[in-house]
A and B are shown apart, each in its own frame.
Chain A
Amino acid sequence: MSTYTSDTPDDRAAMLAAIGAKSIDDLFADIPAGVRLDRDLNLPTGKAEFEVFDHLSELADKNIHSDREISFLGAGMYDHYVPALVDSIITRSEFLTPYTPYQPEVSQGGLQVMFEYQTAIAELTGLDVSNASVYEGPSAMAAAGYLAQLENGRDKFVVSQAVNPQYRETLKTNAHGYGTEVVEVPATDGLTDPAALAEVIDADTAAVFIQNPNFFGAIEDVQALVDAAKAHDALVVCVADPLTLGVLAPPGDFGVDICVGEGQTLGNRLDFGGPSFGFFAAAKKLIRRMPGRIAGETTDVDGRRGWVLTLQTREQHIRREKATSNICTSQALNALAGVIYLSWLGRQGIVELGELMLKRTAYAREVLGAVDGVEILFDAPVFREFAIKLDAPVRGVLDQLALDGINGGYPIGLDYPEYENTILVAITEKRSKEQIDLFAKSLASAVAASKTGVGAEA
């Protein structure tokens, strides 16, 4: 059994003596008998370090992870390569084991990282300011909703159904708390229809939520959607993937007020859904309502350059019930991975990586679309993801593909019943032409087999 404590029996005796207690139990005498646990916790007894590791290894081995199959699964998190230097830096204890930089003099490293991170996110999104991270993508969008509602006091959100379903659900959960209504606008052919959106936006609309590329991987006409919102002075919140912003125009260029999203694609591992980080960038006028921590540049008493946590008067430890969010512990380490990754990619790398994904996606769309019994679901231009419709039960096809070591993607019928037997396919820089060709081949036989019923039960 491990304890990780360092006291000896003699220490304990000496410490108790110093306190004037006869036993450890004396220190708990103020806990009423009625609420004392009068038995041991019903948990297995402690184990040696290697036994714990073996047990965890066994559990890990029961999972089919992205090294054990060719994965086309995305829908919010992606199988991107995490360069080796990221792990090497973020596991340094000086980054791994401190807490929030409450004492800036001994936290300049972490604070400067936040500042560098904020700069990168602002630059990528085309917005003025960024905070130092929030939990993850969907709750970042919900936080943007809270800001909008604080900013203009209106009580309605308008959300495109082309926004990732998990983001929309999270927004609804949060909005119910502070009493804001959420109105969804259906997507047509994989895109948000600006006219349909305009129809429901009115003077009560606090914010309009869109995503680009949207959940289906499709490129929205962002300007038209922003214009529809601005006609009623609603704030526009755009969900984006920062890794696409080497190639795609930054949301800020279209007049988007807040850009949020999932940072996993920036040097963070999949980790079965987290931890990663959410990013949050905004127009300058919103800085005093922005949630979460922000690092700011300043000088010390000797005139040296340094960084501190700034605008803390927005935060829960000062403004309490009037705070712009309740975030305390956020995702600083994951944001550090993000800024290391962005430095690794660099100015050229992010463009090249984006173009590579774009071109491979176009190729994949062509070869998968050519498979007998497979149709490309939407015509809109796409970035890294696109939906295919199968002429066969989706479950059976995915199971067949799995037998060939391929994860075909995400069956979107789970969230959109109108799109039955469809798969959202994601292409990252890790998916080579060879793998895409293999997928097409395997898909052809899987569709054929599933149509005849073979393997449908697999």
Chain B
Amino acid sequence: MQAEKATTIYEKSKPGRRASTLPVLDVPDVSVEDLLPASAIRKTPPRLPEISEPEIVRHYNKLSRRNFDLDSGFYPLGSCTMKHNPKLHERAAALPGFARLHPLQSSERAQGALELMYNLEGALSEITGLPHVSLQPSAGSHGELAGVLLTKAYHEDRGETRTKVLAPDTSHGTNPATVTMAGYETVKVATNERGGVDLDDLREKATTDVACLMLTNPNTLGLFDENIEEIAKIMHDVGATLYYDGANLNAVMGISRPGDMGFDIVHMNLHKSFTQPHGGGGPGSGPIAVSERMAPYLPKPRIVKKEGRFRYDFDQPKSIGRLRGFQGNFGVFVRTYAYICSLGGEGLKAASETAVLNANYMLEKGKQNERVNKYLPVAFDRTAKHEYVLSAAESKRQLDVRATDIAKRLLDLGYHPPTIYFPLLVDEALMIEPTETETMETLDGFIEALDQILEEAEKDPAFVQNAPYTTPVRRLDEAAAARSPVVTQDLDLLP
């Protein structure tokens, strides 16, 4: 990765340079002042970069070389499901019939797009075991918001006011954030010694003022909650709904369906389970699937098929309304649909099986490695699903080497580190998700890398504490960045 000094595109700007080409004015040249009131006109042009096309291309190509990406190396970022992005998908999504289709094109003239969405809804319904799907939410957390608002609409429709939403202490931060945005209070539920929901604690907290329980299963420890049927019963007995955070769906596709587990509402992260490129943090898509009783509240419009034609149905009087503009992240739907068509039902199941096999293999290899097992024991030692959590608490105690130090040293060895310090329940957590698209050799290599780092730490902790050494920049001062934030370039200071 490149180590040369960072220069922004604004610093490369030079008055008079440009890249854009525009058509010549072919209509009467009326002055701007004649067309707009003086107060509406901008006084000085915005200081965008002045730069030629070749220089723009070089600039961003240089920047790209300062990024670690999935296509170049192993990226076991737990909970994020960084699996291979099939190349076919980019080609399909770029088809002009999709890429250049206007979202307000009348439904009669967008039949192919609507058919794709309709088919995708059907497939996601089958995968989740829930009959109704809305593709509208833009990401997982947006799906959560849809789901909790749906819950609110459901209870309100029944004349009930409920004030609380339960979430395990292992839950992702988006869960409580969503709960607040939907006007509820989050109540934490404890985790038992097997890494599942503590049933006694749940029973105590499951009162009739609880609207919903938000759960992911397998959870963020990578563990399947064996008591899921009992959990569903406890919640349904008090009239609450059960919400499935689908971030971990990749472990159970074709094996166990949230609908069959008793969940009323599910969000899927298309960008996790269904091979979407993560784009440096997005775009994603977070469709929701719901049971029959939640269907009237789904976001509108919905897509319906009548006499072989597809159209929008806005006539949803109980709908929570619209969650965003237009039809959702359609470009993501195209890729997801391509993936489902490529794999089919048996392929999706095989993907989950391999993901789980890879995770357990890696977990086991780590346990069999004396050093790794000593300093980085598995937090909850059970058969994992597609991910598992190690704790660096021992490494910290015995070697003074923390999870973050190990992560930084992994960068030198060519790996993207696992997720660190999440879930919060595990001290010094390292959350590893290999995914099904990695080879056995890659998994072995990663465990060897952990072993190497711990060996280095045994000899000289400072060496690991000061890693990385080979990256374009080394440890960055995050505290200073937050204390006096510089979040834009001061253009006044440029020549």
Contacts and interface: CB of A to CB of B under 8 A. Distances in A.
B27 A359 contact: yes
Among A31, A57, A139, A176, which residue has the most Cβ atoms of chain B within 10 A? A31
Given A173-B320, A304-B473, A358-B32, A63 B282 contact: no
A99 B177 contact: no
A95 B104 CA distance: 30
A332 interface: yes
A110 to B, nearest CB: 4
A344 B141 contact: no
Contacts of A330: 139, 281-283
Nearest to B319: A173
B196 to A, nearest CB: 10
Main DSSP-derived SS at the B contact region: loop
Interface stretch (A82-90, A193-201, A228-236, A445-453): A82-90
Among A272, A287, A325, A336, which residue has the most Cβ atoms of chain B within 10 A? A272
Nearest to A125: B46
A272 B32 contact: no
B207 interface: no
Contacts of B26: 360, 432-434
A12 interface: yes
B97 interface: yes
B42 A65 contact: no
B277 A97 contact: yes
Interface in A212-234: 219, 221-223
Nearest to B55: A343
Nearest to B285: A275
A77 interface: yes
B26 to A, nearest CB: 4
A102 B326 contact: no
B88 A49 contact: yes
B375 interface: no
Given A316-B141, A358-B35, A308 B478 contact: yes
Given A46-B347, A166-B325, A363-B28, A177 B113 contact: no
B445 interface: no
Interface in A125-179: 128-130, 132-133, 135-139, 146, 164, 166-167, 169-170, 172-174, 176-179
A110 B104 CA distance: 32
A410 B488 CA distance: 37
Contacts of A304: 5-6, 473-474
Contacts of A34: 229
Interface string B5-31: 110111001000111101101111110
A209 to B, nearest CB: 15
B388 interface: no
A136 B139 CA distance: 11
B66 A109 contact: yes
A107 B417 CA distance: 12
A298 B9 contact: no
Nearest to A344: B19
Interface string A1-31: 1111111000110111011110010111111
Contacts of A188: none
Contact of A44 (B36, B185, B262, B344): B344
Contacts of A323: 173, 176-177, 180
Interface string B410-445: 010000110100100000000000001111100000
Contacts of A363: 27-28
Contacts of B102: 65-66, 71, 73, 77, 79, 270, 272, 407
Interface string A100-114: 111111111110110
Contacts of A285: none
B126 A27 contact: no
A381 B40 contact: yes
Nearest to A57: B95
A2 B100 contact: no
B95 A56 contact: yes
Contact of A63 (B110, B337, B358, B488): B110
Contacts of B356: 24, 27-28
A2 B341 CA distance: 9
Contacts of A93: 69-72
A322 B121 CA distance: 33
A163 to B, nearest CB: 12
Interface in A313-358: 313, 315-323, 325-334, 336, 339-340, 342-353, 355-356, 358
B23 A56 contact: no
A178 B178 CA distance: 10
Contacts of A103: 68, 407-408, 411, 416-417
B273 to A, nearest CB: 13
Interface stretch (B74-82, B235-243, B389-397, B451-459): B74-82
A113 B280 contact: yes
Contacts of B368: 18
A61 B278 CA distance: 27
A106 B126 contact: no
Interface string A249-291: 1100000000000100000011111110100000000010000
B341 A177 contact: no
Contacts of B215: none
Nearest to A275: B283
Q: Which 9 A-B pairs have the closest CB atoms?
A: A60-B97, A273-B326, A333-B279, A62-B112, A41-B345, A273-B103, A46-B344, A275-B283, A349-B20
Given A62-B115, A274-B103, A343-B19, 9 more contacts: A7-B439, A41-B346, A73-B104, A139-B142, A272-B103, A273-B103, A274-B331, A275-B331, A358-B32
10 contacts: A18-B368, A35-B229, A105-B472, A136-B326, A139-B325, A250-B42, A274-B329, A311-B482, A348-B50, A433-B27
